[in-house]
């Protein structure tokens, strides 16, 4: 008894460890996340457990028409094998494929109970002369079965693996979303599904359509409406399934003030110019919080006294930038770029501390226009003029 208990404890430990280590797919129950918009007879809001994979990582919703396949209703096999496709025709609403949850758990439990009873019967009625090996076998079976049953029972709510393959098959057949109707009456719970083996992780990565588990009864209603010839339209809303603890997006911008490195620098300048308006509005509205970063290199210590390092770096080789024109003896030097990067970081720091981080965009775009390297105006004097022109927005006078 004692021994059995300890085996059981160890086993549970493994189960929990397994859950902890490999939980990847998660189904989060969302209230009223699924709305039937037609037919009238089943109109209304329903809960569903939305998978955390396949949905875009920003909030959204999708409207579509529910289809229940005539064959392969569990979606366990590829729909190709049945010549079925769910690609919606252009102009039509996206297809929501309704499939049955492929739970085999109950069958396994029933089979297991049967075997357990059977093996007990055999052991109680078998004469002792019965082959020793056979006896051992039955004994072993009796010992192992409860564990197998417990495993199946525990994993009953965690059959994400199967659901992932159902979703995968549906996606390959052209469905835009998947509704998985539960196969037993139970309340939806938020669940992690441990993925055993590495194979399903690959599938999860490649799933690009949302999926939701719905209650058995609701599934039946949908099926009834569909078989009655109704067009069933639903709207799935996963806005709540996406974490947004503070309603704000943090983003980081990696940039460089070098304006003569060819196409890359031109693209970067264009981007900053184009994005400025939106970025400032978002920042002022409190919807975003951004941080600019400047790319920097350092000079290996043995070279700190070299001409290259002296021209490309500041602070004894600690902060360097490549020479804009690759010519160490003429034109702008790497250290000019590092100094301007530093100035822009400083502008951001002051702007951010003054609670006006968006002023950074004004400075950066003004500097680009007024102080280009081409016109030999990429220097402190020009930068100072830009700062002056920002007026009294920021207490930046110390920089002049
Ligand atoms: C998932 O996508 C990657 C990259 O497109 C591909 O290499 C891989 O084979 C795909 N996995 C499956 C299971 O289709
Ligand atoms: C900008 O300011 C905010 C709040 O004032 C602060 O949380 C954030 O860390 C600052 N960002 C940087 C890069 O200093």
Determine the atom of ligand 1 nearest the C-alpha atom of 206. Answer: 1
Q: Is 339 left (phi over 0), alpha (psi -120 to 50) or beta?
A: alpha
Which residue spans within the chain are E strands per DSSP?
A: 23-38, 44-51, 61-67, 95-100, 177-181, 191-194, 211-214, 233-237, 249-255, 288-294, 313-314, 319-320
Nearest CA to ligand 2 atom 13: 291
CA angle, 111 then 117 then 120, to 5°: 135
Predicted local distance difference test score (pLDDT) of residue 176: 92
Mutate to test the pocket of ligand 1, among 198, 202, 203, 207 (most ligand atoms within 8 A of CB): 202
User: Alpha-carbon torsion 368, 370, 372, 377, what sign?
Assistant: negative
Ligand nearest to the CA of 250: 2
Start-to-end CA span in the chain (Å): 83
Contact 149, 15 (CB under 8 A): no
User: 116-130, 165-179, 232-246 — which one is most confidently predicted on average?
Assistant: 165-179
- The alpha carbon of 358 and the centre of ligand 2 are apart by a number of angstroms equal to 12
Ligand in closest contact with the CA of 199: 1
In tens, the pLDDT along 116-161 reads: 777 666 666 666 555 666 766 777 777 777 776 666 665 554 444 4
**352 C-beta closer than 6 A to ligand 2:** yes
Residue 18 CA to residue 329 CA, distance in Å, equals: 63
Q: What is the pLDDT of residue 69?
A: 94
Strands 95-100 and 44-51: unpaired
Contact (Cβ atoms closer than 8 angstroms) between residue 358 and residue 347: no
- pLDDT tens-digit readout, 206-235: 889 999 999 999 999 999 999 998 899 999
Between β-strands 23-38 and 313-314, what pairing exists: parallel, antiparallel or unpaired?
unpaired
Q: For residue range 334-382, list pLDDT tens digits in order.
A: 999 999 999 999 999 999 999 999 999 999 999 999 999 999 999 999 9
* DSSP letter, residue 82: G
Say whether pLDDT at 106 is over 60.
no
> How confident is the prediction for the chain on average, in pLDDT?
81
Express each pLDDT in 266-275 by its tens digit: 888 999 999 9
CA distances from 173 to 178, 304, 308 (A): 11, 61, 59
- Nearest alpha-carbon partner for 176 in 274, 283, 98, 288: 98
Q: Is the CB of 291 under 6 A from ligand 2?
A: yes
Instruction: Give Cα 246 to chain centroid, integer Å.
Output: 18
């Amino acid at each position: 008894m004692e021994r059995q208990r300890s085996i059981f404890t160890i086993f549970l430990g493994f189960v929990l460890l397994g859950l902890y280590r490999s939980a990847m797919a998660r189904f989060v129950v969302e209230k009223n996340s699924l709305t039937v918009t037609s037919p009238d007879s089943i109109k209304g809001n329903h809960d569903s457990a939305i998978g955390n994979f396949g949905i875009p990582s920003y909030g959204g919703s999708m409207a579509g028409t529910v289809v229940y396949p005539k064959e392969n209703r569990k979606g366990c096999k590829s729909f190709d094998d049945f010549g079925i496709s769910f690609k919606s025709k252009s102009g039509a609403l996206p297809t929501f494929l309704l499939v049955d949850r492929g739970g085999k758990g109950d069958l396994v439990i029933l089979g297991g109970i049967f075997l357990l009873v059977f093996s007990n019967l055999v052991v109680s009625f078998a004469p002792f002369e019965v082959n020793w090996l056979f006896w051992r076998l039955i004994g072993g079976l009796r010992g192992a079965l409860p564990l197998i049953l417990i495993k199946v029972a525990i994993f009953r709510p965690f059959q994400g693996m199967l659901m992932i393959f159902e979703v995968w098959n549906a996606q390959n057949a052209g469905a835009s979303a998947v509704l998985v109707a539960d196969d037993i009456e139970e309340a939806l719970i938020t669940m992690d599904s441990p993925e055993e083996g590495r194979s399903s992780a690959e599938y999860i990565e490649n799933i690009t359509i949302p999926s939701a588990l719905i209650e058995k009864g609701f599934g039946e209603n949908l099926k009834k409406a569909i078989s009655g010839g109704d067009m069933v339209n639903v709207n799935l809303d996963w806005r709540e399934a996406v974490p947004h603890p503070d309603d704000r997006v943090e983003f980081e911008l990696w940039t460089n003030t070098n304006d003569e490195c060819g196409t890359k620098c031109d693209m970067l300048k264009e981007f900053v110019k184009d994005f400025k308006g939106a970025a400032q509005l978002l920042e002022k509205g409190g919807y975003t919080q951004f941080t600019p970063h400047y790319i920097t290199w350092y000079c290996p210590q043995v070279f700190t006294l070299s001409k290259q390092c002296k021209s490309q770096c500041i602070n004894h080789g600690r902060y360097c930038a490549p020479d804009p024109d690759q010519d160490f003896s003429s034109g702008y030097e790497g250290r000019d770029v590092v100094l301007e990067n530093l100035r822009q970081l400083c502008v951001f720091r002051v702007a951010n501390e003054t609670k006006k981080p968006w002023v950074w965009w004004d400075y950066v775009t003004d500097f680009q226009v007024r102080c280009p390297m081409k016109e030999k105006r990429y220097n402190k004097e020009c930068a100072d003029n830009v700062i002056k022109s920002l007026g009294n927005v920021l207490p930046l006078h110390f920089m002049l």
